[in-house]
């Protein structure tokens, strides 16, 4: 069983994927064919859903409401967090930091993908930070610029099994 | 009506539109994320620039590295040999251009033309699709336009084919780039080759998807016919910096007009359908950036002449200094093009490239002759897919040099510029350096150009095609997506006035 199959077996929650100060490198890296569990998410043919700006059907408020009404989900965050400069990143009417804070409270697991989300990455020098530092708690982390699609899948699997696998 | 965030685009975008009497009467495009790469580059060692700028964008994952490398080649007086040029061209054709184009056309834009969207939002159009027989059904297999619209949606065959091709093009490009996005093989004056047979393997890999590429071209040709005249034509004003160096490339500023004109797709500035110039140096000297009345400090002129003694304007990127004054001014950032007489706002992208080629002769791929029709939503989508076929032919017909990879040297200079088309259009980096240290690094991306006016011009005056009770702004979204915006690239330092609106 490879990790694509493993992901398919453990995928029992929606995935909410939020881009903060990102280049979309991880979004585009995971938007690949070859992993059925993920393809089904992209094709909307999985019972579970992937809420990502890169591939969602709806825009605007409808999309944000979908995001915020989620109850059983894994939160994936891509991109750095503009600590103390919240206005530098908006998703709809909410700052990225507001949205991430709200979602982080409800998420069953949080995964930071890519070096920017892990520690601010290339733009840390400008004062931006990683998810763990922002939330003040440990999160699953997939470093790399961009993070490898395979490692992101493996970490999602790990997060979905509650870190027990 | 505010539509924000916009999905199926790169990054953080929004659009505010006003609709009156069935027409869009106002539009304001927003980019709502800001990082600051030009600040990051200041006072850094010049040789770090390609690596740093490569991280601006993960969608057009090679363009900034390539353009930065070309700017450094001019600054350092080092340029690649024929073998390096060929390998760069093949990799760049695959990813960024081919992979990006199939992704944007079908995974982003295509959904807006799929049956669930068309049937629920534009019922009479869907009625027409149900009754319209396709023109090329022997190639793609769909009898009616509605049949292919069914397959454009997420679970559809066309969506699945596009995802497969997007992955394939990236994987093939990685044989040369070694990593994508953000290639690691590019070097100033060359490229690190790990596999001399990579191009042959790439050709073999492409051959396997030849039929898929042909199908996608003819599927988009059906949409081109079906939506002809539905979207607003903003006129034949275009700029392209061109694509793929010839073996004559020597990175020298004084020869830029000559080597750039020999690119596979030559540079062109087109106004009202007429060719103004193919001289890339002149096109680049005509770039103007305006931030009047914004939150930015004005800058003083420090560069008065280019290395050839040509006048450099105060608003030219070589002079521009981006210092943030406060968060309460206006962030309006506009790119204009000076053509020797006046300034205007040409759009950039695949139609610009095809137009440039068409002025030289026939533009044909997979037995389809491209002729210019309009600068509108559906033509942008078609050109995007058609370009995949053009580049398929380009790679398949290339006889790459497998021997000459040594860098060549000429004379370096303190003022340098790199300019090459990204998938979305002309992308350029301007450098002012001293002793190998960056004094100023300025980037003007295609999204900066397309957002300066063309997007707004395309929305304002557009007839609303939506008939459903609940208005979703479908036409405005189709316009925005047709320009393939990349906000991560566009707001590397400054941003649209929308961020200011947010800050206020």
What is the SS3 assignment for B282-333?
A: HHHHCEEEECCCECECCCCCCCCECCCCCECCCCCCCCCCCCECCCCCECCC
B203 close to A (CB below 8 A):
no
CA atoms of B22 and B464, how far apart (whole Å):
5
Q: What is the pLDDT of residues B381-431, one digit of tens each?
A: 999 999 999 999 999 999 999 999 999 999 999 999 999 999 999 999 999
**For range B69-86, the mean pLDDT:** 98
Which pTM was predicted? 0.95
Q: What helix, strand, coil percent values describe chain B, rounded to 5?
A: 40, 20, 40
Subunit contact A55:B33, Cβ cutoff 8 A: no
Dihedral angle of Cα B492, B495, B498, B500, to the nearest 10 degrees: 110
Q: Name every chain A residue with its beta carbon within 8 A of the beta carbon of B12.
A: 19, 53, 89-91
Nearest to B58 among A24, A43, A93 (CB): A24
What is the rounded end-to-end Cα distance, in angstroms, of chain A?
Answer: 14
Nearest to B12 by CA among A34, A68, A92: A92
User: Sign of dihedral through CA atoms B189, B191, B193, B199?
Assistant: negative
Least confident of A20-29, A86-95, B484-493: B484-493
Q: Chain A: nearest CA to B170, how far in angstroms?
A: 9
Q: Which token pair is B222?
A: 């059906």
Strands A109-113 vs A140-142: parallel, antiparallel or unpaired: parallel
Question: Mind giving me the DSSP string for A62-118?
Answer: HHHHHHHT--SEEEEEESBB-TT-GGGBEETTEEHHHHHHHHHHH-SEEEEESHHHH
Give the burial class of B122: count Cβ atoms within 10 A of its Cβ; 0-12 exposed, 13-18 middle, 19 or more buried. buried
Which chain A positions have a beta carbon within 8 Å of B166's beta carbon? 31-33
Q: Do β-strands B23-31 and B13-20 pair in parallel, antiparallel, or remain unpaired?
A: antiparallel
Q: What is the model's pLDDT at position B419?
A: 98
Do B375 and B350 form a contact (C-beta atoms < 8 A)? no
Q: Tell whether A48 is within 8 A of chain B (Cβ).
A: no
pLDDT tens digits along A7-33: 988 898 999 999 998 899 999 999 999
Confirm if B219 and B102 have CB atoms less than 8 A apart: no
Least confident range of A5-9, B115-119, B229-233, B316-320: A5-9
Q: Is B424 on the interface with A (CB under 8 A)?
A: no
Neighbours of B430 (CB within 10 A): 23
CB contact under 8 A, A91 and B32: yes
Put simply, the chain B residues between 351 and 410 with a CB less than 8 A from any chain A CB are none
User: Among B168, B84, B347, B146, which residue's Cα sits nearest to residue B240?
Assistant: B347
């Amino acid at each position: 069983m490879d990790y694509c199959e493993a992901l398919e077996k453990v995928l029992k929650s929606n995935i909410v994927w939020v881009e903060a100060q990102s280049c979309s490198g991880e979004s585009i890296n995971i938007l690949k064919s070859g992993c059925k569990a993920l393809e089904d998410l992209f094709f909307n043919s999985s019972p579970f859903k992937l809420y990502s700006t890169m591939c969602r059907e709806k825009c605007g408020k409808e999309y944000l409401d979908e995001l915020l009404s989620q109850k059983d989900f894994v939160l994936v965050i891509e991109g750095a967090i503009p600590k103390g400069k919240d206005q530098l990143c908006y998703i709809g009417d909410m700052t990225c930091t507001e949205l991430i804070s709200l979602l982080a409270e409800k998420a069953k697991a949080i995964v930071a993908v890519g070096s920017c989300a892990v520690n601010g990455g290339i733009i840390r020098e400008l004062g931006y930070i990683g998810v763990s530092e922002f939330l003040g708690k440990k999160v699953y982390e997939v470093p790399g610029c961009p993070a490898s699609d395979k490692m992101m899948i493996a970490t999602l699997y790990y997060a979905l099994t509650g870190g027990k696998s | 009506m505010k539509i924000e965030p916009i999905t199926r685009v790169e990054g953080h975008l929004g659009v505010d539109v006003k609709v009156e009497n069935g027409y869009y009467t106002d539009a304001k495009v927003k980019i709502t994320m800001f990082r600051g790469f030009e600040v990051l580059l200041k006072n850094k060692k010049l040789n770090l620039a390609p690596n740093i700028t490569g991280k601006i964008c993960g969608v057009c994952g090679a363009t900034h590295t390539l353009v930065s490398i070309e700017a450094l080649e001019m600054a350092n007086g080092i340029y690649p040999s024929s073998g390096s040029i060929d390998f760069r061209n093949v990799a760049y054709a695959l990813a960024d251009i081919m992979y990006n184009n199939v992704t944007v056309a079908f995974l982003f834009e295509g959904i807006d033309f799929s049956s669930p969207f068309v049937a629920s939002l534009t019922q009479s159009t869907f009625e027409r699709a149900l009754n319209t027989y396709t023109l090329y059904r022997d190639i793609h297999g769909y009898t009616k336009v509605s049949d292919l619209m069914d397959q454009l949606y997420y679970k559809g065959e066309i969506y699945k084919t596009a995802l497969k091709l997007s992955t394939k093009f990236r994987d093939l490009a990685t044989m040369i780039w070694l990593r994508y996005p953000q290639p690691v093989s590019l070097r100033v004056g060359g490229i690190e080759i790990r596999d001399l047979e990579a191009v042959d393997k790439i050709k073999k890999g492409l051959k396997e998807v030849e039929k898929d590429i042909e199908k996608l071209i003819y599927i988009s040709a059906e949409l081109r016919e079906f939506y002809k005249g539905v979207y607003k034509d903003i006129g034949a004003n275009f700029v392209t910096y061109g694509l793929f160096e010839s073996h004559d490339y020597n990175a020298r500023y004084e020869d830029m007009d000559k080597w750039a004109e020999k690119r596979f797709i030559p540079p062109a500035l087109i106004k009202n359908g007429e060719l103004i110039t193919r001289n890339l140096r002149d096109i680049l000297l005509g770039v103007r950036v305006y931030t009047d009345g914004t939150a930015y400090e004005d800058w003083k002129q420090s560069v008065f002449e280019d290395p050839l003694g040509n006048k450099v304007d105060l608003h030219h990127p070589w002079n521009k200094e981006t210092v943030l004054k406060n968060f309460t001014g206006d962030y309006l950032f506009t790119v204009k093009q000076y053509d020797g007489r006046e300034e205007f706002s040409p759009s950039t992208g695949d139609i610009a490239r095809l137009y440039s080629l068409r002025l030289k002769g026939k533009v044909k791929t997979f037995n389809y002759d491209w002729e210019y029709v309009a600068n509108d939503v559906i033509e942008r989508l078609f050109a995007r897919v058609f370009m995949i076929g053009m580049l398929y032919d380009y790679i398949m017909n290339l006889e790459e040099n497998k021997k000459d990879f040594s860098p060549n040297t000429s004379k370096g200079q303190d003022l340098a510029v790199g300019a090459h088309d990204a998938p979305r259009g002309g992308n350029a980096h301007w450098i002012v350096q001293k002793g190998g240290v960056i004094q100023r690094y300025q980037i003007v991306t295609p999204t900066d150009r397309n957002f300066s006016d063309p997007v707004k011009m395309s929305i304002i005056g557009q007839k609303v095609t939506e008939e459903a009770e609940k208005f979703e702004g479908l036409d405005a979204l189709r316009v925005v997506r047709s320009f393939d915006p990349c906000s991560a690239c566009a707001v590397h330092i400054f941003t649209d006035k929308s961020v200011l609106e947010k800050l206020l």
